[in-house]
Amino acid sequence: MSDRAIAWLFTAPTLILLLFINIYPLIWSVYLSFTNYKANRRGVEIAWVGLKWYKKILTDEDVWANLQVTAHFLFWTILLQGLIGLSLALLLNKKFKGHEVFTTIVVLPMMLSPAVVGVFWTYIYQPQAGIFNYIINFFHDFGEFSMIADVSLAPWSIIIVDTWIWSPFVMLLCLAGLRSIPDYLYEAAEVDRASKWQQFIHITLPSVLPFLMLAILFRGIENFKMFDMVNELTGGGPGSVTELASIHLKRAAFEKWRTGYSSAFAVILFVTVFGAGNIYVKFLNRIKEK
Amino acid sequence: MSHSLDTSRSPLEPSSRSKKIAAVLIILYVLITIIPLLLIVMTAFKSVPDAITYPPKLIFKPSLEGFVNLFTQRTRQPKAYLESLPPAATWYEKIVRKRQMVIAGPSRFFHRFVNSIAIGFGSTFFSVFLGTLAAYGFSRFRIPAKDDLLFFILSTRMFPPIAAAVPIFLMYRTLGLNDTYLGMITLYTVVNLSLSVWLLKGFIDEIPKEYEEAAMVDGYSRLSAFFKVILPEAAAGIAATAIFCLIFAWNEYAFAILLTFREAQTLPPFIPTIIGEGGLDWPAISAATMIFLLPVVVFTILLRKHLLRGITFGAVRR
């Protein structure tokens, strides 16, 4: 067989499968977003409704509320995970005895199924039998409270669990950044009698920054799509205070069966993620060039 | 150069004091972050009343009630009926009888477990198989618009699963693939393909081209060079990729909860539905969670050298 034939033979199955399962549904979504189709009413003729759903979504106050919930979740998870992840990486980079074993233990929550872990956190958050409330009340007695049922606490309940799961992810990336710094930079700094603090500001931080940004990019995209953990932990409630974009989409698509509307919402989400991701990557490349 | 300068260690090596502080802080973090995991194991061995007492019990009499509840379906019976039965023959019947119940049959847990294994391993096999071929193709050959194609493969990951689920649900309904092994294995294969191609391309890029060129000079065809030279060289990378795909498929929840109901339902959507009398049966859920998480913990330990690469799609290699 010629190399050319092998090249196509090897890559074609993957590309065809992706086209069939990823691109075809995407195009279909775009089409459905202009129609009044409802997946639970089959046999009804599909009518073209134009931009109706897009107009509705962009002017709907509930949707803006969802996006605010998503933004709140994104802001705090990224901030907390960035801080905790970077700190953990700096600490583990001290290479104390047993640091490799500890790295593996720290990473564990990240590898477990967020949905299954999310269910278990409803037990941890129980007002009476839950260990979370018990520990909080041990330090300061707030009496009985429910992280999940309380409107002002529920958004924090998902932020805490997400941070617990994903801080190790940021840590791993920052650790890679720290290990990529060549020794001679510090040696030169020592010769120049730069203080440890100066070394940290001028060598460590700039070297880690691209890795930290990459971690934030990954976390931003992933949390914008967040569904599994939150769906099991709060299900979007109470009311809709933890109804992230994906949860809103699931409710519209699979509970209210508003297929046209939810397809339009899906398209908007996709364009947002894709656009934000692209802008961010450009920004990241500029930092790397410096 | 002053004489007092400490030359016993390199200035780059952290001082033993800063090492100690770092170790203490990390241990503190580990102690806090491991609480939920320890609690899962503890609760799995609690009896149902012990699991819901206030304050939470740290010391308790271990019980296998959770495991028994997980694997069986039970019905409550009147006392008179229970007394008319012959004494419980097995240890698990004894546990059930204590709660005034009898075992009505096996639960659905085992079936869901088998589903998870079949769909997890099935999809892993195909995504690694197709991914290895595609990765080799992209690594070694000139393919028009190669970078665009690779970016396209990666971008399929950016689509929120819930957004993809709507059209896939409709497509699968037309094809009769909802709630089937075939449908779920196909879907998970595709979901993992992007990861598999990107990771494996990284691993294969690291194998020098000269290896197979030398083999081809020795008379091997391109295909046999691929099988006899590249595959053995990439074996460790392929194994790591397979474990990543398996973990993702094993943990996947969004598609599973929307596209499977009975026949092909996997563990993640099933575990939250384990209920006992008057609510969720926490010991049984914990037992299920423990059984579900254990393989992943083992895999994570096996994978620790490749973790970074796996979670960043090969973008960062260390």
B14 domain-assigned: no
pLDDT tens, position by position, A154-187: 999 999 999 999 999 999 999 988 988 888 888 8
CB-CB under 8 Å, B253 with A115? yes
Q: Which CATH number fits domain A59-289: 3.40.1160.10, 1.10.3720.10, 3.40.50.970, 3.90.1150.10?
A: 1.10.3720.10
Look at residue B56 and tell me if it is in a domain. yes
Q: Are residues B176 and B87 in the same domain?
A: no
Q: Provide the residue count of chain A.
A: 290
Of A8-17, B43-52, B304-313, which range is least confident?
B304-313
ipTM: 0.88
* Residue B68 shares a structural domain with residue B172: no
Angle at A232 between CA A227 and CA A238, to 5 degrees: 95
Interface test with A, best of B166, B178, B261 (most A CBs within 10 A): B166
- pLDDT for residue A47: 82
Q: For chain A, what percent of residues have pLDDT higher than 90?
A: 44
Are residue B92 and residue B186 in the same domain, yes or no? Answer: no
Most confident region among B48-52, B79-83, B128-132, B273-277 by mean pLDDT: B128-132
Instruction: Inform me whether the C-beta atom of residue A15 falls under 8 Å from chain B C-beta atoms.
Output: yes
Q: Tell me the per-residue pLDDT of A225-280, one tens digit each, with 9 for 90 and over.
A: 899 999 999 998 898 899 999 999 999 888 888 888 999 998 888 888 888 877 87
On whether both B66 and B156 belong to a single domain, the answer is no
B147 shares its domain with B274: yes
**C-alpha torsion A238→A242→A246→A250, nearest 10:** 0
A11 touches chain B (CB under 8 A): yes
Q: What distance in Å separates the CA atoms of residue B273 and residue B263, rounded to the nearest whole number?
A: 16
Measured CA to CA, the distance from residue B60 to residue B47 in angstroms comes to 9
pLDDT, position B252: 94
> Out of A66-70, A254-258, B2-6, B266-270, which region has the weakest mean confidence (pLDDT)?
B2-6
Whether the predicted pLDDT of A290 surpasses 60: no
Question: A14 and B131: CB-CB below 8 Å?
Answer: yes
The reply to whether B216 and B97 lie within a common domain is: no
A-chain residues near B141 (CB < 8 A): 3-4, 6-7
* Contact A228/B at CB under 8 A: yes
Shortest distance, CA B89 to any CA of chain A (angstroms): 33
The structure tokens listed for A250 are 């699931």
Burial class (CB in 10 A: 0-12, 13-18, 19+), A5: exposed
Report yes or no on B279 lying in a domain: yes
Between B64-78, B156-170, B205-219, B277-291, the lowest mean confidence (pLDDT) is in: B156-170
What pLDDT, on a 0 to 100 scale, did the predictor assign at position B1? 42
Q: How large is the average pLDDT for residues B169-176?
A: 90
Q: Which of B9, B19, B21, B26 to mutate to test the interface with A (most CBs of A within 10 A)?
A: B26
In chain B, the number of structural domains is 2
**What is the amino acid identity at position A273?**
V
B146, B75: one domain: no
**Which chain A residues are within 8 Å of B52, Cβ to Cβ?**
126, 128-129
In a domain, B302, yes or no: yes
DSSP three-state, residue A119: helix
With contacts defined as CB-CB under 8 Å, which chain A residues touch B37?
108-109
Q: Is A129 in Cβ contact with B36 (below 8 Å)?
A: no
B77 CB burial (10 A radius; 0-12, 13-18, 19+):
middle
Q: Provide the CATH number for the domain around residue B147.
A: 1.10.3720.10
Residue B237 has pLDDT above 70, yes or no: yes
Q: Domain check: are B259 and B188 in the same one?
A: yes
* Domain identity same for B118 and B131: yes
B150 CB-near residues (< 8 Å, 6+ apart): B138, B197, B198, B201
Full 3-state SS string of chain B: CCCCCCCCCCCCCCCHHHHHHHHHHHHHHHHHHCHHHHHHHHHHCCCHHHHCCCCCCCCCCCCCHHHHHHHEEEEECCHHHHHHCCCCCCHHHHHHHHCCEEEEEECCHHHHHHHHHHHHHHHHHHHHHHHHHHHHHHHHCCCCCHHHHHHHHHHCCCCCHHHHHHHHHHHHHHHCCCCCHHHHHHHHHHHHHHHHHHHHHHHHHCCCHHHHHHHHHCCCCHHHHHHHHHHHHCHHHHHHHHHHHHHHHHHCCHHHHHHCCCCCCCHHHHHHHCEECCEECHHHHHHHHHHHHHHHHHHHHHHCCCHHHHHCCCCCCC
Q: Considering the domain boundaries, does residue B318 fall inside one?
A: no
Same domain, B78 and B215: no
- pLDDT over threshold 50, residue B4: no
**pLDDT-based confidence at residue B9 (cuts at 50, 70, 90):** low
Based on the domain organization, do B124 and B230 belong to the same domain? yes
B133/B100 same-domain check? no
For helices B16-33 and A61-92, angle between their N-to-C axes, nearest 10 degrees: 140
Answer positive or negative: Cα dihedral of A171, A215, B249, B201. Answer: negative
What pLDDT is recorded for position B148? 84
* Rounded average pLDDT over B43-58: 86
**Distance (Å, whole) CA A101 – CA B30:** 11
Mean pLDDT of chain B: 88
Q: Smallest Cβ distance to A176: which of B51, B194, B318?
A: B318
Each residue's pLDDT tens digit, A87-145:
999 999 988 888 889 999 999 999 899 999 999 999 999 888 889 998 998 898 888 88
B214 is a domain residue: yes
What confidence score (pLDDT) does residue B94 get? 86
Q: Which domain holds residue B56?
A: 45-107
Res. B2: pLDDT tops 50: no
Closest Cβ–Cβ partner in A22, A39, A254 for B156: A22
Answer whether residue B37 is part of any domain: no
Confidence (pLDDT) at A63: 87
The overall pTM is greater than 0.80: yes
Categorize the per-residue pLDDT at B102 as very low, low, confident or very high, splitting at 50, 70 and 90. Answer: confident
Residues A262/A253, Cβ–Cβ less than 8 Å: yes
Task: Say if A145 is an interface residue toward chain B (CB within 8 Å).
Answer: no
Q: Do A21 and B186 touch (CB under 8 A)?
A: yes
In the predicted structure, residue A82 carries a pLDDT above the cut 90? yes
Contact B289 A10 (CB under 8 A): no
Residue B39 lies in a domain: no
Residue B116 has pLDDT above 90, yes or no: yes
- Check residue A46 and give its pLDDT: 80
- Suggest the residue from B27, B33, B123, B162 to mutate for an interface test with chain A (most A CBs closer than 10 A): B162
Give dist(CA A267, CA B159) in Å, integer.
9
